[in-house]
Structure 1
Amino acid sequence: MSTFKTLTLSTSLIAATLALPAQAANIGVTMTSFDNPFLDILMDGMKNAAHDNPDITLQFEDANLDIGRQMNQVQSFIAAGVDGIVVNAVDGDTTATLTQMAEEAGMPIVYVNHPPIDFHMLPDKAAFVGSNELDSGTIQTEQVCQLLNGHGNALVMMGPLENHAAHMRTKDIEDVVSRAECNGITIVEKQTANWSRTQAYDLMTNWITSGIEYDAVIANNDEMALGAVQAIEASGHSLDDVVIAGIDATSDGLIAMKNGQLDITVFQNAVKQGEVAVLSAYKISQGKPFERNIWIPFELVTQDNLHDYMK
Structure 2
Amino acid sequence: MRNIKIAAVSSITASLLIGAFAVADEPIRVGAATYGLQGEFMQLWSNSLQRHPAVESGQVEVTVFDGRYDALVQNNQFESMISRQYDAILFVPIDADACASAVAMAASAGIPVVGSNALCNTDQLAAYVGSDDVLAGEMLANSVLTQLDYQGNVVILEGPIGQTGQIDRGRGIDKVLSEYSEVNVLERRTANWSRAEAMALMENWLTSHRGQIQGVIAQNDEMAIGAIEAIIASGLSVNDFAIAGADGITDALTAVKEGHMESILQDADAQAQGGLDVALRLVKGESYQPLSPIWDEYSELEWNDGQSELYYVPWTPVTLDNVEQLLEKRAR
Same fold flag (TM > 0.5): yes
- Name the CA distance, whole Å, in 2 between partners of 1:22 and 1:36: 36
1:107 aligns with 2:111: yes
- Name the CA distance, whole Å, in 2 between partners of 1:154 and 1:61: 36
**Paired letter, 2:172:** D
Runs of 4+ residues over 6 Å off in structure 1: none
The equivalent residue for 2:182 is: 184
In structure 1, stretches of 5+ residues that fail to align are: 1-17
The equivalent residue for 1:8 is: none
- Name the CA distance, whole Å, in 1 between partners of 2:248 and 2:155: 20
The equivalent residue for 2:236 is: 237
- Name the CA distance, whole Å, in 1 between partners of 2:274 and 2:58: 16
CA drift at 1:47: 1.2
The equivalent residue for 1:299 is: 316
The equivalent residue for 2:174 is: 174
- Name the CA distance, whole Å, in 2 between partners of 1:111 and 1:100: 13
- Aligned positions of 1:227-266 closer than 5 A: 227-262=226-261, 264-266=262-264
CA drift at 1:48: 1.4
- Name the CA distance, whole Å, in 2 between partners of 1:186 and 1:51: 49
* Match for residue 98 of structure 1 among 102, 122, 125: 102
The equivalent residue for 2:302 is: none
**Paired letter, 2:49:** M
CA drift at 1:22: 4.6
Q: Which has the higher contact order (CA 8 A, sep 6+)?
A: 1
The answer (yes or no) to whether the contact 1:47–1:275 under 8 Å persists in 2 is: no
The alignment's TM-score, normalised by the length of structure 2, stands at 0.82
1:30 aligns with 2:33: yes
CA drift at 1:220: 0.6
The equivalent residue for 2:135 is: 135
- Name the CA distance, whole Å, in 1 between partners of 2:321 and 2:240: 19
CA drift at 1:259: 2.2
Question: Which deviations, in whole Å up to 9, do the C-alpha atoms of 1:58-94 show, x marking residues without a partner?
Answer: 1122121121111111111111111111111121102
- Name the CA distance, whole Å, in 2 between partners of 1:254 and 1:268: 12
CA drift at 1:27: 0.8
The answer (yes or no) to whether the contact 2:206–2:213 under 8 Å persists in 1 is: no
- Name the CA distance, whole Å, in 2 between partners of 1:305 and 1:142: 20
- Name the CA distance, whole Å, in 1 between partners of 2:319 and 2:244: 10
The answer (yes or no) to whether the contact 2:138–2:173 under 8 Å persists in 1 is: yes
The equivalent residue for 2:326 is: 309
The answer (yes or no) to whether the contact 2:154–2:185 under 8 Å persists in 1 is: yes
The alignment's TM-score, normalised by the length of structure 1, stands at 0.87
The Cα RMSD (Å) is 1.8
CA drift at 1:20: 5.5
1:48 aligns with 2:51: yes
Q: How many residue pairs end up in the alignment?
A: 287
* Match for residue 277 of structure 2 among 276, 279, 301: 279
- Name the CA distance, whole Å, in 2 between partners of 1:85 and 1:51: 15
The equivalent residue for 1:4 is: none
The equivalent residue for 2:154 is: 154
Tell me the percent identity: 31
- Name the CA distance, whole Å, in 1 between partners of 2:100 and 2:159: 22
Question: Which deviations, in whole Å up to 9, do the C-alpha atoms of 1:160-182 show, x marking residues without a partner?
Answer: 11111012112211211222xx4
The answer (yes or no) to whether the contact 2:144–2:216 under 8 Å persists in 1 is: no
- Aligned positions of 1:199-214 closer than 5 A: 199-212=197-210, 213-214=212-213
* Match for residue 124 of structure 2 among 122, 125, 129: 122
CA drift at 1:304: 4.4
- Name the CA distance, whole Å, in 2 between partners of 1:160 and 1:96: 17
The answer (yes or no) to whether the contact 1:45–1:273 under 8 Å persists in 2 is: no
Give 3-state SS (helix, strand or coil) of 2:99's partner.
Answer: helix
